[in-house]
Every structure is written in structure tokens, then in C-alpha cells.
Amino acid sequence: MELAIMQVLWKRGPSSVQAVRAQLTGDPAYTTVQTILNTMEKKGRTKRTLEGRAYIYRASLSREMATGSAIKDFVERMFGGSVEGLLMSLVKTDQVDAATLKRLERAIAKRGDEG
């Protein structure tokens, strides 16, 4: 649910609880969305400002930062922190084709040239 809310905030920009709720699937309760937004604010993932009688929430993490953090957590939990394990799993399950591997190889080589 937090990811779905972040996606709404990234797409729409600063939004009220009601505006976020309207964009979510499954018709969650207003209080549920409000609670999650408040929890996310305490975690530093969103910021809020009072406008009139309603809080307006905005993402405090970029999509790239949130994605990087989620991927790092996933790799740690599923592959013991091994990026190679993740990549080998993608190759073995035919989720990465030869063209994608070539693009990855070029991106890695380019990154190596920069640093």
C-alpha cells in the first residue's frame, strides 16, 4: 500500500488524503489511507503541510531513491545481498534475453569508464 501511495504522489504531486484515496484501487477506507500517510511521514517518506483544514502530502523521496532502497532490500532478503545471484536468477528463468544482456554489459562498461 505504501508503494501504491508513493506512486500516486509521484504522479500527481502534492495531494490530500482524499485525492490519494481516489487514485488507489480496492476502495480503501479514508482512515486507512490517512494512517498509512501519517506513518510514512513519520518514516520520512512523505512530508505534509496544513492547508486550510486538510493536510497535503508530498513524496520526500525520489522514485529513484525509493526504487534503489527497495531493490537493495529485496536483494538482501532473497539473495543474501548477492547482486550476481539476482542476475543469475533472471538469466536462468529466461527473464533476460541476449539483447538485454548486451545493454547491461555496455552500461556496466560505461560506468566503469566514468569511475
Q: What is the mean pLDDT of residues 25-43?
A: 96
Is the domain spanning 63-114 CATH 1.10.4040? The answer is yes
Per-residue HEC secondary structure of 11-66 comes to HHCCEEHHHHHHHCCCCCCHHHHHHHHHHHHHCCCEEEEEECCEEEEEECCCHHHH
Q: Shortest CA distance to 16 belongs to which of 34, 43, 41, 42? A: 34
For 54-102, what is each residue's pLDDT tens digit? 999 999 999 999 888 889 999 999 999 999 999 889 989 989 888 988 9
- CATH number, domain 2-59: 1.10.10.10
Boundaries of every domain in the chain: 2-59, 63-114
pLDDT exceeds 90 at position 108? no
